[in-house]
A = this chain, B = another copy of it.
Amino acid sequence: MNEVMSLLKNHRSIRKYSDRPVGREQVEEIVAAAQMASSSSNVQAYSVIAVTEQAGKDKLAELCGNQGYISECPVFLVWCADLSRLKAAAERHLPAGAETYESSVENFIVATVDAALAAQNGAVAAESMGLGIVYIGGIRNRSQEVAELLSLPQLVYPVFGMCVGYPDQEPGLRPRLPLEAVLHWEGYDAERSESGVKAYDETMVKYLRERTGGMKDTPWSVLMAEKLAQPARLHMREFLQRRGFGLK
């Protein structure tokens, strides 16, 4: 296995960091690597806010559902989908009457995907430097307050956060769905996927039992059923529309 594959295959989310600082140049390196990810028609429709000041991290930790590791990590990155640069360009070059479609679902997908591709490159870059990361979906818990705290303009929304720091823990690898559940050949095979889920339920029961000394053993598909039944972040649609993403 080459070095890159072995790095990818060893990913673990890191939620506890040593005191070792992360320099500004390291953040710049991470984002420069992120920028080399593919981007839809070169629109580069994303921005990253690096938060390093304690007050900002503390406030974000609170807004993300009191996740202490956001306060504790040396650098917290907020990855945003960003159509504001494109809108500004449109206003400069095609003013008078030029209809813009910044509010379509399509452009929302473009910007969200651009942010995610860049972020994952950034995650891999960080790990190659010996750093650990964890994605923070909780950045969408109180989106409006996050947008205000970070002075985000219209047409910019925080997709997820990412804690970055030198690891002070070594969690085990978490098993993934068996390949057959996610990889299909020539066309989608729902039965294959379902039998993969059954096998995974057993894997995860065993994994959880071992990891928690028998305290937890809920099968994955039960956890997923509970998750789906639990309404989460139902403010997102209204929030996005207020930010200029019409989702039309």
Quick check: is A89 within 8 A (CB to CB) of the other chain? yes
Quick check: is A52 within 8 A (CB to CB) of the other chain? yes
Quick check: is A247 within 8 A (CB to CB) of the other chain? yes
Indicate which residue in B2, B99, B156, B183 contacts A128 across the interface (CB closer than 8 Å). Answer: B2
Quick check: is A228 within 8 A (CB to CB) of the other chain? yes
Given contacts A109-B236, A151-B187, A227-B41, is CB(A179)–CB(B31) below 8 Å? yes
> Secondary structure at chain A's binding surface: helix, strand, loop or mixed?
helix
Interface size on A, residues (CB 8 A): 120
Are B179 and A52 in contact, CB atoms less than 8 angstroms apart?
no
Quick check: is A212 within 8 A (CB to CB) of the other chain? no
On chain B, the residues within 8 Å of A190 by CB distance are 84, 153
Most buried by B among A117, A120, A151, A179: A120
Chain B residue nearest to A82 in the complex (CB): B182
Chain B nearest CB from A102 CB (Å) reads 6
For this complex, 27 residue pairs linking A to B, each with C-beta atoms less than 8 Å apart, are A3-B4, A5-B125, A13-B38, A27-B183, A28-B179, A31-B182, A32-B179, A35-B176, A42-B174, A47-B182, A52-B185, A83-B228, A84-B193, A85-B224, A88-B194, A88-B197, A89-B197, A93-B222, A93-B226, A94-B229, A101-B234, A104-B232, A104-B234, A110-B137, A112-B112, A113-B116, A150-B187
Could you tell me which A residues sit within 8 Å of B by CB distance?
2-5, 7-11, 13, 27-29, 31-33, 35-38, 40-44, 46-53, 56, 80, 82-90, 92-94, 98-102, 104-107, 109-110, 112-113, 116-117, 119-121, 123-125, 127-129, 133-135, 137, 140, 149-153, 156, 159-160, 174, 176-177, 179, 181-188, 190, 193-194, 197, 220-234, 236-237, 240, 247-248
